[in-house]
Amino acid sequence: MHRVLFALIITSLLITSNRADAAPRKLVLIGDSTVKNGQGRGDGGLWGWGQVLQPHFDVDCLVVENRALGGRSSRTYLTEGLWQRSLDSLRAGDYVLMQFGHNDGGQMFDGDRPRASIKGNGDESQDGVVEATGAEETVHSYGWYLRCYIADAKAKGAVPIVLSPAPRNIWRDGKVARASADYGKWAKEAAEQAGAPFIDLNEIVAKRYEEEGQQKVAGDFFTAADHTHTTRAGALVNAECVAKGIRGLEASDLSDCLLAELVKVSYSVDFGGPSGDAIRTPAVFDAGRGHGFEPGASVEFVNASAGHACVGDGAFAYSFVVPDGNWLVEATLGSPEAATKTRVEAELRRQMTDEVATEPGAFETRRFVVNTRTPAIEAGGSVRLKPRERGSEAAAWDRKLTLRFTGERPAVSRLSVTPAPDVPTIYLLGDSTVADQPEAPWASWGQKLPVHFRDDIAVANHSESGETVRGFWNARRFDKVLERMRPGDWLLIQFGHNDMKSTRPDALKEYRNGLKRAVEETRRRGATPVLVTSMERMAGVEKDTLGAYPQTVRDLAAEMDAPVIDLHAASKALYRDLGERLPEAFQDATHHTDFGAERLARSVANGIGRAVPDLASHLKATTVTSP
């Protein structure tokens, strides 16, 4: 047996960026439906690559603004005034990505879609009368319109970048049909003539499709009825190819805003073991390596005949680089030498396991699903985070999955992290009484709820302190949730504590309308909304403190035939039952301790058992709920 004791002493360096206080630059996208399909919400299961491009960029450096519009050609994007509106939004230092070509063929003046440009990159033009409108118009070449966009963007101090059109799902002799003899060629010529960078997206994507194979491309990236527009999976691949093209540009600093490529999305880590790749030193987290200890860990590595482990003098944390999503974690806990007591938390103190006690040489394995997120919104922009969400609450939004091990001599022997894309997700939306609290003894029912569920579902707590329904919409927090939501998911929403503080005469109506909109948008995505009345404050044992807000939720639930968890009523009953122990449940007059949050989480689980039977089927057998 050998043992090594380490203590990490980390010195933090303050690095000041020249851009730290400046607004992020914009990446304006112009193009057709292969860039933005429909309203940009995935209607009909079709997506453009611009709708999922933002997660490739650091939102503090660059924000994607998708101004593409379906059905437009290089010509009609200009003549309909769309380019002028895009141009007006540009600032010096911004970027423009342009991709046209799919709609540049067809009729020039006749019919119901007169949008064709002249083929090529020449300076010739053709005069005519548009049959549908009677308007006279001079039509130019495809390349001429691209050169026009390039010149205008440069005049505003922006950086234009030309892309060849993404390929269709058309194959010839086992190869994807290229645009290298027409629109891809002309796009390159226009870029060279006007002095703009060029990305041959057509070729990059075509090669990727060929690597994936015709069957997978047809089945996953496109629908049977449409060889031009991509599914979400296809849009994600095309967006990856756009990012790859940007990385390959020689004379552009746009790549500086790209996030590092994720080359690994699953991990298996042994602590203290004999294998060559086992972790035997407390290496601090390194994004390039993909995992490591968070600063401050004081740990001991033990390797004996009975097994191996990493044992902490106190709480310690270990992180993995991952993108947004759900992740199945398997944690083997215990030590070969000593009795241990370990509880696992994830991200911002979300409780994933109860305390696991092991005797010397004994190990127990726990499985659970962790949801991770970043502020980026696929369609462009990001959630407007509060300063504390970039500081003490950063673990809720960073590009990592962080596991924290607490208890008396916490110990972990092995960790595995694998994607869990098919498990459903419970989204929690609310205020500080639901939000993951960064520091004990503050706690909420939202961060205590995950421990009640099995490993076949994820809990994604998007709640934030100080928020209202109105504020949630304005900060684009709802946008982030709705873009991730899938059929079969659930939304639990509880607001009221901060909403009731508004002095606006229509505050209660606004509150109700905001909740109603959340219910409607959730249902539109095939998910199930569950309304939750706010728990009472400590003074609410004797007299209600939330006014008409709880009843408004009950009435709305009845009107919309939505499930409701009456946490307001349940909390009053809980507080009465606690009797003299009631102060132990509160950190102040409103917020709860671990003790209070744990009991409220059980009340929510109880409410799920009564009101949401489909969701209740995911609860652990040890979580006893009342019928």
pLDDT digits (tens, 9 = 90+) for 255-292: 999 988 765 579 999 999 887 778 999 999 998 889 99
Buried residues in 562-577 as b, exposed as e (16+ CB within 10 A): bbbbbbbbbbbebbee
Side-chain-side CA neighbours of 187 within 13 Å: the count stands at 29
In the block, tokens 């380490």 appear at 6
What's the confidence (pLDDT) of residue 384?
A: 95
Active site residues: 33, 226, 229
Phi/psi of residue 77, nearest 5 degrees? -65, -30
Q: What single DSSP character describes residue 217?
A: I
Q: What is the pLDDT of residues 507-522, one digit of tens each?
A: 999 999 999 999 999 9
Q: How far apart are the first and last CA of the chain?
A: 53
Question: CA–CA separation, 263 vs 524, rounded Å?
Answer: 34
CB distance 140 to 73 below 8 Å: no
CB distance 67 to 86 below 8 Å: yes
In the block, tokens 């009909």 appear at 44
In this structure, the strands spanning 159-163 and 95-99 are parallel
Q: What pTM does this model have? A: 0.83
Alpha helices in 497-584 (DSSP H): 507-524, 549-560, 567-578
Alpha helices in 391-535 (DSSP H): 445-448, 469-474, 477-484, 507-524
Q: What single DSSP character describes residue 219?
A: I
Domains by residue range for the chain, with CATH: 25-257 (3.40.50.1110), 263-422 (2.60.120.430), 423-627 (3.40.50.1110)
Split the chain (627 residues) into runs of 10 and give each run's mean pLDDT: 37 31 85 94 90 90 95 98 97 98 96 96 97 95 98 98 98 96 98 98 98 96 96 95 96 90 79 85 90 95 91 96 94 96 98 97 97 91 94 95 97 96 97 96 97 98 97 96 95 97 95 98 97 97 94 98 98 96 96 97 97 97 61
Q: What single DSSP character describes residue 535?
A: P
Q: What is the pLDDT of residues 5-28, one digit of tens each?
A: 333 323 222 223 333 346 789 999
